[in-house]
Amino acid sequence: MHGAGTKPDITKNRPYSAILDITRLTSRVGRGPLTGVDRVELAYLDWCLSGTEPLYGLARISGGHVVLDRVGLQDFRARLLGQRPWGSRDIRARLGVKTPKARGQAESDLRRLAVTRSGPNTLLNLPVTDGVYFSTGHSNLNKVSLSGAREAGLNVVTLVHDFIPLDWPQFQREGTVQRFEEKMLAVARHSDLIIANSADTECRARYYFDQWDANPCYVTSHLGIAPCDENIPISGNNRPYFVTIGTIEPRKNHGLLLDVWDQFESELPEDQVPALHIVGQRGWKNEETFKRLDLWRGKCWLHEHNDMDDPALRQLLAGSHGLLFPTIAEGFGLPSLEAAQMGIPVLCGDLAIHREVMGDYPVYADLQDIYLWKKTILEQAKQRQKDLVHAHKAKKPKIPTWSDHFDAVNAAVTKLL
């Protein structure tokens, strides 16, 4: 998700040396707002920087690997968040015709900031030989990095977000399933500890890793939600509106919502159709949905936001009559928890992960039951938005914090060491 920011609240100090993989964040430079997985890696960066023990960052970039020290990581973070500009592209980036300009600038800065570098097929001269190598972004999961860190004397700790490519291969781009399986095989064989973002994810990890005769340690720790401003002003928009958040890809199931609104338009006067705000970039294998969005462009009730920043998203969500989350499969579901934190109603499918983290807070609706989705949306649209939010704030689920998450991780890592 785009989301509320990731700076962790107070947590226990990290009592061990660490190398944090920042490959995912590096790869996202110039590609719009950070997604949910990106924000998790950023939260780990903030947490690691908050401690005093030795800390380094590792990134796989064009041509090999770079290692940054604490000062280099602080500089990288400042540039990532727009607090400092990226530098100019070096010769390697200018010659790399397949490297987008923004990413080329980022990789050039990483090369300039690096305290040590190595080629693509090996990790050399890691600056710490005990402690932990954290990989949290699903982007650098291979034998070179994981086994290389182990051979250097580090304990390998990998955060697994989901197994959606293996569980739902029909929703994936060509080649994705095989690449994902190769990544998870490397994780299974070369990790000492698996951090699962939910009990559901740990269950899936054990299922697959047992088949591969791998037996790492496990800890389940829900991802944290940063505290939010309870007093976000609500706009005076007279038309009730709903928000859905996520990349427009098949498993996010935007087609269900378009079916619902198609019926609204045929059954209701135009001024009574609630508005639908779709927040997220267009993804893959969703041509029919893209065609419908293009066909309906200009409809007064349809708004597509491909590049909305975090403050604008929170403002939009705060004034809505609800978050619609018809996803067919989800690893954790940050958008729904962030909406719940604000007291915004959530309408979603009955998935195990939603039950695990939100309990009875949402309205659960069968993803095949368009009538129930229509009925619930219209009922909420007819209520005053302030009354809806007030009622839902009274029954908010327990919102996990980053402090909770990192305390559990610290305990598991300390036991491992």
- The pLDDT mean for the chain works out to 91
Closest-CA residue to 273 (of 368, 375, 345, 381): 381
Task: Tell me, yes or no, whether 263 lies in a domain.
Answer: yes
Number of H helices, E strands in the chain: 17, 14
- pLDDT at residue 97 greater than cutoff 90: no
Task: Tell me, yes or no, whether 233 lies in a domain.
Answer: no
Q: Are residues 410 and 363 in the same domain?
A: no
Helical (H) or strand (E) element with 196: strand 193-196
- pLDDT at residue 237 greater than cutoff 80: no
Q: Are residues 40 and 153 in the same domain?
A: yes
Q: Are residues 125 and 265 in the same domain?
A: no
Predicted pLDDT of residue 4? 38
Task: Tell me, yes or no, whether 235 lies in a domain.
Answer: no
Q: How many Å apart are CA 306 and CA 40, to the nearest integer? A: 21
More confident position, 79 or 100: 79
Q: Are 22 and 52 in contact (CB under 8 A)?
A: no
More confident position, 196 or 232: 196
Confidence of residue 311 (pLDDT cuts 50, 70, 90): confident
Q: What pLDDT, in 10s, does the model give residues 318-377?
A: 999 999 999 999 999 899 999 999 999 999 999 999 999 999 999 999 999 999 999 999
Amino acid at 334: L
Residues 16-24 have a mean pLDDT of: 97
Q: Are residues 221 and 284 in the same domain?
A: no
Q: Which residue's entry shows tokens 């604000």? A: 342
What's 77's domain CATH number?
3.40.50.2000
Predicted pLDDT of residue 362? 95
- pLDDT at residue 228 greater than cutoff 80: no
Q: Are residues 103 and 178 in the same domain?
A: yes
What is the tally of structural domains in the chain? 2
Predicted pLDDT of residue 236? 52
Task: Tell me, yes or no, whether 5 lies in a domain.
Answer: no
More confident position, 233 or 343: 343
Predicted pLDDT of residue 5? 43
Closest-CA residue to 245 (of 380, 353, 386, 344): 344
More confident position, 95 or 180: 180
Q: Are residues 48 and 175 in the same domain?
A: yes
Which residue range(s) make up the domain with 326?
241-393
- pLDDT at residue 86 greater than cutoff 70: yes
Q: Are residues 149 and 249 in the same domain?
A: no
Strand, helix or coil at 117? strand
Q: Are residues 367 and 386 in the same domain?
A: yes
Residue 316 vs residues 279, 289, 334: alpha-carbon distances, Å? 10, 23, 16
- pLDDT at residue 10 greater than cutoff 60: no
